[in-house]
Structure 1
Amino acid sequence: MARDSGRRMGRRAVLRGSAAASAALTLPSVAPAAPAQALSGRPNARWGVQVGDVTTSSGLVWVRSDRPARMIVETAATESFSRPHRWHGPVVGPGTDFTGRTALRGLPSGSQVHYRVLLADPDDPRRTGEPVHGTFRTVSARRREGVRFVWSGDLAGQGWGINPDHGGFRIFEEMRRRDPDFFLCSGDNIYADGPLAESVTLPDGSTWRNVVTPEKTKVAESLDEFRGAFRYNLLDTALRRFHSQVPVISQWDDHEVLNNWYPGEILTDARYTEKNVDVLAARARRAFAEYSPVGTLRPDAQGRVYRVLRHGPLLDVFVLDCRAYRDANSPGRQPENTQGILGAEQLAWLKRELSRSRAVWKVIACDMPLGLVVPDGTTAIEGVAQGDPGVPLGRELQLADLLRHIKHRKITGTVWLTADVHYTSAQHYDPARAAFKDFAPFWEFVSGPLNAGAYPALKLDGTFGPEQPFVKAPPRANVGPAEGFQFYGEVDIDGDSGEMTVRLCEDGAAVLYTKVLRPGLVGQ
């Protein structure tokens, strides 16, 4: 890969130093969300820092305080912080669960940015807590730098939470060591519908022990319970260290609210006292906005998840929202369907932005797979594919419309990345094998979970001609992290050739499958 060797070595040194600083951020088993009036001393940022939606000249820094505080960010070109630039952020308080974000603008392109977040007493700005350090690299406008990123999803699901004996969320430490430019979280950042028990008996008779907080002992219904699910994940040292060094692109899927939800749904689940999913989704969206470094979201739950992130001449990342605009889950056999999983407005936006993109590669970050049949109960379908290999029906009609647009506008370099199904696989879609033929061949790659139950592979739907050259999945449902089957993917785009190398990886540093894609080619 044609990266500047000095830059890479310099960044590795940064990562080592920041890792040591971040490792010092230790939290108790149960992090208090105590009211500010019950606390003494100086403001504390025990939940670490995050950076998101980084561009050539900007980034969004996130922090959480343990009490009302003024957020201050200092940036510098070196770890010594000589002549730092200071950014005054918001006063964080109970209205946002003491979280805050500060936009850094006017940063130099392709540069390593060192930053530290200070939390100051609003009544006495001289009283600040210990700074929390991080680093990130702004996007380079020069092609030769190349791009490397990792992606996955599904964290703390199916009863598998933070187990210190297992190394906690140890897969994040492995991904950090791969030195990515950013992490694409493909959804299921939390499992709001997944309570945790203190212990789980494993098939071999041993015991998996979870760290448990009060909010994680039941399904999330109140705003505070949704917030608590996000705070729970930040108890993990490896995740906080990862966040301090790797920018994130966040999207959501179903478990930020509850399994397989759709707008307008009314629950029959006895665990819930609030049956209106729209009410739950509004609370979940607010918590997601508060705990994610996403510029298009605001803590009042307005704004949108779908957006495009531009990473120089080589890459544009199109982040989709397959939850907030979808139609109701059904058998998916309708001969007409305009809503699909994206809704009409988001589909029009995606077509328009894909047509405008001049990047070599257009990664479509979709929180649901396309050709895998994902069921919802015994008759309904959760995803796009519905198991009928014939002409498009139901939500497949919207996908057919999009794929036709990509072909007719001669948009090249589209690659789909997703998680959701809790195993890893590669699918190649080709009209020569398909019932619907008016599209250009493309690839879809699936990865995950990060730390959750793994599940057997799903069947393929032949409507768009998928072929699966690789899949790794367990033979039974809800296989826990102690037995393996925890996955992430890596994408490496070479600055000289423009080639994209996709690797499907398993926790333990094993590369399971590699595919090299050449720019501008159709049907590869």
Structure 2
Amino acid sequence: MRSPRLDRRTFLRAAALSGVAAPALIRADRPALTHGVQSGDVVRGSGLVWARADRPARMVVEVAEDPAFTHVRRVVGPLLTPDTDFTGKVRLHGAGRTVHYRVTAEDLDGRVASEPVTGSFRTPPGRGEGVRFLWSGDVVGQGWGIDRDRGGMRIFRAMAERDPDFFLYSGDTVYADGPLTETVALPDASMWRNLVTPEKLKVAETLAEFRGQYAYNLLDDNLRAFAAAVPQVNQWDDHEVTNNWYPGEVLADDRYTEKRVDVLAERAFRAYHEWVPLDPRRALDGRVHRRMPYGAHVELFVIDMRTYRDANGVNTDPQGRILGERQARWLVDALASSQATWKFVAADMPIGLHVPDGTAWEAVANGVAGPPSGREAELAWVLSELRRRHVRNVVWLTADVHYTAAHHYAPERAAFTEFDPFWEFVSGPLHAGAFGPNPLDPTFGPEAVFVHAPPAPNTSPAEGYQHFGEVEVAPGGGEMRVALRGPDGGELWSTVLQS
């Protein structure tokens, strides 16, 4: 079993890059790789690797099948320039199951290079092997930033200790609308002491401020170690832009000088794609929704419930949408064509929970105990099509509501009955205020089989209500286990499903 931990010195190694065939000399005046390394969107035989330098440079990666880098293959990556905030990504191919890599930055004339920063990722297994992956979301929300005196975002260390094949980052990966203060008083009279950067002192509006949200999170030692050891599958929700946003919205929030959400979203999306290891070429429109097969028994269907929605409101319009027609049809067709034993819909919002936006509705449910209407009608169409096309073993994974729960949906309890029973598992937050639980909407007949939520709103990460979920598909694919875990990795609840 590989070790998921990297030491602090590894993360702070400097780097500068050029594309010459021979390695450049290491010097004290070299540029630095500023935020560790990350990998993501791993498919059969390859994965995407990310890094950032502190000045113009070229990204160069050495690839090996062993952590000692006995035999290496050199891959010359992109230029790291101000146009991408000095970030870059390159897809690496490997022959073995585990791909080890070390990234350097070489300056543009090829004279100096950094000490390398190392990482690794596992490629999809063979048919007879099992798969373990994690999911969760919601990081640095509600004023809870990195408190180094408390060990930082320790849940990422607990997740690394589970040694997963990959991590599904289920949205709200940053809180661009969540400024930090230096201290927050806790109920026990102690103080939470936030590490603060200039970009985290106000809501993000400029491109530089959106970029600063991702840079801030990667200041945490635990997160950087996890990102170097575990590949990600990223999706977004609302806080990458601003709370509860929808296309065309004009903000009434006095904290913003730029009130056009479409302008903010364009800047936020650019920063997001610069700073996360997501391959836009795999997404249908270059943004987020895409399918990610991982071996014979696991396939993820990452959806975008933010970009194509209608305006938040009463959510009963017959033409209500949260996916949009094109994405809804893509989702059904993709699930129906999948050969994977288990098909996981990675949803950035839950289906059957009341999620209010003031007097409006933010998610799918609309609080009306009756046949599907508004956005529910779009989901009803998806669920009924999956039943009509005999798509089996579909499981929904989500975050968003800042507690963890297991929901079972069944037509015998529902106002709408044209669907097969299914599970939705909720997990979060990773490092944010804890809330909940939310009321259930009866339209699709959900039952809360398990709930772990805090006793009061915005409970701090110090109180133990941070969560992640774990999926383990057994060798051969016939059995799948889901566990909901707390901040130290301890199991709170689990269930086993048969294919």
> TM-score, normalising length from structure 2?
0.95
Q: RMSD of the alignment, in Å?
A: 1.7
For the 8 Å contact 1:22–1:240, the answer to whether it is kept is no
Q: Secondary structure at the match of 2:450?
A: strand
Instruction: Find out whether 1:264 has 2:264 as its counterpart.
Output: no
For the 8 Å contact 1:22–1:133, the answer to whether it is kept is no
Return the alpha-carbon distance in structure 2 between the equivalents of residues 20 and 251 of structure 1.
Answer: 25
Residue 297 of structure 1: how far off its partner (Å): 6.1
Instruction: Find out whether 1:151 has 2:135 as its counterpart.
Output: yes
Residue 43 of structure 1: how far off its partner (Å): 2.0
Return the alpha-carbon distance in structure 2 between the equivalents of residues 242 and 176 of structure 1.
Answer: 6
Alignment-derived partner of residue 105 in structure 2: 119
Residue 498 of structure 1: how far off its partner (Å): 2.1
Return the alpha-carbon distance in structure 1 between the equivalents of residues 184 and 477 of structure 2.
Answer: 49
Instruction: Find out whether 1:88 has 2:69 as its counterpart.
Output: no
For the 8 Å contact 1:56–1:108, the answer to whether it is kept is no
Q: Secondary structure at the match of 2:171?
A: coil
Structure 2 unaligned spans of 5+: 14-27
Q: 2:417 aligns with which of 418, 427, 437?
A: 437
1:245-276 Cα distance to aligned partner (Å, 9 max, x none): 00000000000001000000000000000010
Return the alpha-carbon distance in structure 1 between the equivalents of residues 220 and 474 of structure 2.
Answer: 33
1:331-353 Cα distance to aligned partner (Å, 9 max, x none): 1122x12x511111111111111
Instruction: Find out whether 1:185 has 2:173 as its counterpart.
Output: no
Alignment-derived partner of residue 9 in structure 1: none
Q: Secondary structure at the match of 1:503?
A: strand
Q: Secondary structure at the match of 2:273?
A: helix
Instruction: Find out whether 1:45 has 2:33 as its counterpart.
Output: yes
After superposition, where does 1:104-143 map in structure 2 within 5 Å? 104-105=92-93, 107-108=94-95, 111-124=97-110, 126-140=111-125, 142-143=126-127
For the 8 Å contact 1:23–1:237, the answer to whether it is kept is no
1:354-401 Cα distance to aligned partner (Å, 9 max, x none): 111010000000000000010000x21000001112100100000000
Q: 2:3 aligns with which of 15, 26, 42?
A: 15
Alignment-derived partner of residue 304 in structure 1: 287
Alignment-derived partner of residue 313 in structure 2: 330
Residue 24 of structure 1: how far off its partner (Å): 3.9
Return the alpha-carbon distance in structure 2 between the equivalents of residues 452 and 232 of structure 1.
Answer: 14
Residue 50 of structure 1: how far off its partner (Å): 0.4
Instruction: Find out whether 1:413 has 2:393 as its counterpart.
Output: yes
Alignment-derived partner of residue 393 in structure 1: 373
Residue 20 of structure 1: how far off its partner (Å): 4.2
For the 8 Å contact 1:305–1:319, the answer to whether it is kept is yes
Alignment-derived partner of residue 383 in structure 1: 363
Residue 21 of structure 1: how far off its partner (Å): 4.2
Alignment-derived partner of residue 350 in structure 2: 369
Q: Secondary structure at the match of 1:144?
A: coil
1:93-138 Cα distance to aligned partner (Å, 9 max, x none): 1000000001113x226x11110001000112x4111100001111
Residue 22 of structure 1: how far off its partner (Å): 5.2
Aligned length: 486
Structure 2 letter corresponding to 1:314: H
Structure-2 change in CA distance of 1:314 and 1:22 (3 Å): farther
Q: Secondary structure at the match of 1:345?
A: helix
Alignment-derived partner of residue 425 in structure 1: 405
For the 8 Å contact 2:35–2:51, the answer to whether it is kept is yes
Structure 1 unaligned spans of 5+: 1-11, 28-39, 520-524
Return the alpha-carbon distance in structure 1 between the equivalents of residues 426 and 9 of structure 2.
Answer: 31
Return the alpha-carbon distance in structure 2 between the equivalents of residues 374 and 202 of structure 1.
Answer: 27
Instruction: Find out whether 1:461 has 2:448 as its counterpart.
Output: no
Q: 1:486 aligns with which of 466, 485, 499?
A: 466
Residue 509 of structure 1: how far off its partner (Å): 2.5
After superposition, where does 1:249-288 map in structure 2 within 5 Å? 249-288=233-272
For the 8 Å contact 1:360–1:413, the answer to whether it is kept is yes
Aligned-pair identity (%):
55
Alignment-derived partner of residue 67 in structure 1: 55
Structure-2 change in CA distance of 1:481 and 1:23 (3 Å): farther
Alignment-derived partner of residue 185 in structure 2: 201
For the 8 Å contact 1:23–1:241, the answer to whether it is kept is no
Structure 1 letter corresponding to 2:378: Q
Return the alpha-carbon distance in structure 1 between the equivalents of residues 75 and 478 of structure 2.
Answer: 36
After superposition, where does 1:228-243 map in structure 2 within 5 Å? 228-243=212-227
Structure-2 change in CA distance of 1:139 and 1:418 (3 Å): same
Return the alpha-carbon distance in structure 1 between the equivalents of residues 149 and 386 of structure 2.
Answer: 48
Return the alpha-carbon distance in structure 2 between the equivalents of residues 383 and 316 of structure 1.
Answer: 24
Residue 26 of structure 1: how far off its partner (Å): 4.5
Return the alpha-carbon distance in structure 2 between the equivalents of residues 127 and 137 of structure 1.
Answer: 31
Q: Secondary structure at the match of 1:398?
A: helix
Alignment-derived partner of residue 6 in structure 1: none
Return the alpha-carbon distance in structure 1 between the equivalents of residues 9 and 369 of structure 2.
Answer: 51
1:417-448 Cα distance to aligned partner (Å, 9 max, x none): 00000000000000000000000000000000
Structure 2 letter corresponding to 1:252: W
Q: Secondary structure at the match of 1:253?
A: coil
For the 8 Å contact 1:310–1:317, the answer to whether it is kept is yes
